[in-house]
Structure 1
Amino acid sequence: MNPYLDIILRSTAVYLFMVVALRVFGKKELSQLNTADVILILLISNSVQNAMVGSDTSLSGGLAAAAVLFILNFIVKKLIFKYKFFSNLFEEKAQILFHDGKADFKKLASENITHDELMEAVHEHGIENIKDVKLAILEMDGNISIISGDKNLKQTHYKRRKNRRSLMRMN
């Protein structure tokens, strides 16, 4: 087999694997990178490098693998934009966590969001009481948006992040 065709096929397989893995393990985790996550990304990239290029450690082999990844990413983004099927397949949807005074406890649990995290988002948006929240949405990127009924409140951006305390509670 042509060595460059082999690199193209291997790189495509690794790319598709990573897309599926991110979909299964949750893309929202990308908005919350901590030290362990960065280490994981570095180790994954190192572990799949040989799977993409095989025994070809040349500059041209590495560039061919990188080019395939860029091209695949470009194609996937075009397909997501053009076709709803691909958008549903590759992108997570925003989730309503709280609507008109009622929390969706099943959604909160499925997204591993504690009451304390939701309250932190509410407070960071300048709202003192959860009764004043009209809508709380877990966005596609893992951030929580809060909408209140009060037009005088300044709306801010809350970036959901994991801290040691919430990581310890999960274990």
Structure 2
Amino acid sequence: MWEMTTPWWEIVLRAAGVYLFLLFLIRLSGRRTIGQFTPFDLLVVMLLSEAVSNALTGGDQSVTAGLIAAFTLIAINAIIARLTARFTRLQVMMEGEPVLVGKDGRILHKVLLQQHVPPADVEQALREADCELKDMRCAFLEADGSISILRKDPEGH
């Protein structure tokens, strides 16, 4: 149960490699937050965890190997969080920047398509901001997947 068949340092390297690779893939996949996951997104996340489980420990089924892999993942996540809080360029690289998805009462459909965001999400953000499309100055897809709406000022500027 506790005896490992794989060296501890190999598990650390495997976990770090899997973490960084999955982080890269998730950055490529778009900007949905957990609350915006569709059932298909959730299924992909669940299957990803199953797909990489052996890659984390090299097939070592011991509790110790699992704990080392878990510790490594948490440690890497904490280190990346601290580094992105300190270095803006790293934060932009890891988390992305806001993207303009609407301007002057128009939804930029090509940009939404590139970002894998349905127009209905912008329409929902407009309703939540109590803003009609014609009154929208800008709409931004934020790095966390939320959509921010800026209204035109009362004079229409």
Query: Per the shorter chain, which TM-score range?
Result: 0.7 to 0.9
The number of residues matched between the two structures is: 150
Distance in 1 separating the partners of 2:41 and 2:92: 25
Cα-Cα RMSD:
2.4
1:136 equivalent in alignment to 2:139: yes
SS of 2:59's equivalent? coil
CA drift of 1:137 comes to 1.3
Tell me, yes or no, if structure 1 residue 70 matches structure 2 residue 74. Answer: yes
The equivalent of 1:87 in structure 2 is: 91
Conserved 8 A contact 2:138-2:151? yes
Matched AA of 2:94: F
Cα 1:18–1:113 change in 2 (3 A) is: closer
Cα gap change, 1:89/1:115 in structure 2, threshold over 3 Å: closer, same or farther? Answer: closer
TM-score (norm 1): 0.75
Q: Cα deviation per residue 1:98-126 (whole Å; 9 max; x = unaligned)? A: 23345444423322445554334323322
Q: Structure 1 123/16 Cα, relative in aligned 2: closer, same or farther at 3 Å? A: same
Secondary structure in structure 2 of the residue aligned to 1:55: coil
Asked if 1:98 is matched to 2:95, the reply is no
Q: What percentage of aligned pairs have identical amino acids?
A: 31
Residue aligned with 1:126, SS? coil
SS at match of 1:141: coil
The residue that corresponds to 1:123 in the other structure is 127
User: Aligned partners of 1:97 and 1:87: how far apart in 2?
Assistant: 21
1:94 Cα deviation (Å)?
A: 1.0
2:9 is matched with 5
TM-score, normalisation: structure 2:
0.81
Match of 2:40 in 1: 36
Given the superposition, is the C-alpha separation of residues 117 and 7 from structure 1 closer, same or farther in structure 2, using an over 3 Å criterion? Answer: closer
1:54 paired residue among 52, 58, 76: 58
CA drift of 1:62 comes to 0.3
Structure 1 residue 89: Cα displacement: 1.8
| Structure 2 residue runs without a partner (length 5+) | 1-5
Write the deviation string for residues 39-58 of structure 1: whole angstroms up to 9, x where unpaired: 22122111111111113211
